[in-house]
Amino acid sequence: MISIAGTLMAKITTAAEAAYPDECCGLLSGFGDVDKTLTITGVHASDNVTAESARDRFEVDPKVRFDVMRELEGGPERIVGHYHSHPDHPAQPSEHDLKMTFEPDLLWLIVAVDEGKATETTAHRVDADVSAFHQIAITTR
């Protein structure tokens, strides 16, 4: 199960709506285990720096990644996942998302944005062999 504060979820959905019709993206920090209970305590927005079409692809800025890693170094929290939006598509991982899974231990949070309005958010983990995603329940606190 994924636990996230309503204020953090609002930051993500606001970013998804603001980026429309492009994909937004960012990192999630927290603690716990994606296979048990994962608590998200931080949302770190990134520009979408993909060299491809930002309407259906995303890439987190490496500088954001390194800044967050430095910020969390030595503490109990770590990067636990990332988020991105799917403009005018369901909040389900795409085949391209699966191909771009380089860190199977990270959570994937996906926001569906239909005509500029966030409609659904889902969380997913990927198998260790990167063969499939599995949806995980989200609890907003």
Q: Residues 124-136: pLDDT tens digits?
A: 998 888 888 999 9
Report domain extents, the chain: 2-140
Q: What is the mean pLDDT of the chain?
A: 92
**pLDDT, tens digit, for every residue of 32-46?**
987 788 999 999 999
pLDDT tens-place string over residues 95-111: 888 888 888 889 999 99
* Residue percentage of the chain with pLDDT more than 90: 71
Distance between CA atoms of residues 64 and 29, nearest Å? 12
Fold classification of 2-140 (topology level): Cytidine Deaminase; domain 2 (3.40.140)
Evaluate whether 56 touches 84 at the Cβ level (below 8 Å): no
Give residue 27's pLDDT band: very low, low, confident or very high (50, 70, 90): very high
Q: Tally Cβ neighbours within 10 Å of residue 1.
A: 13
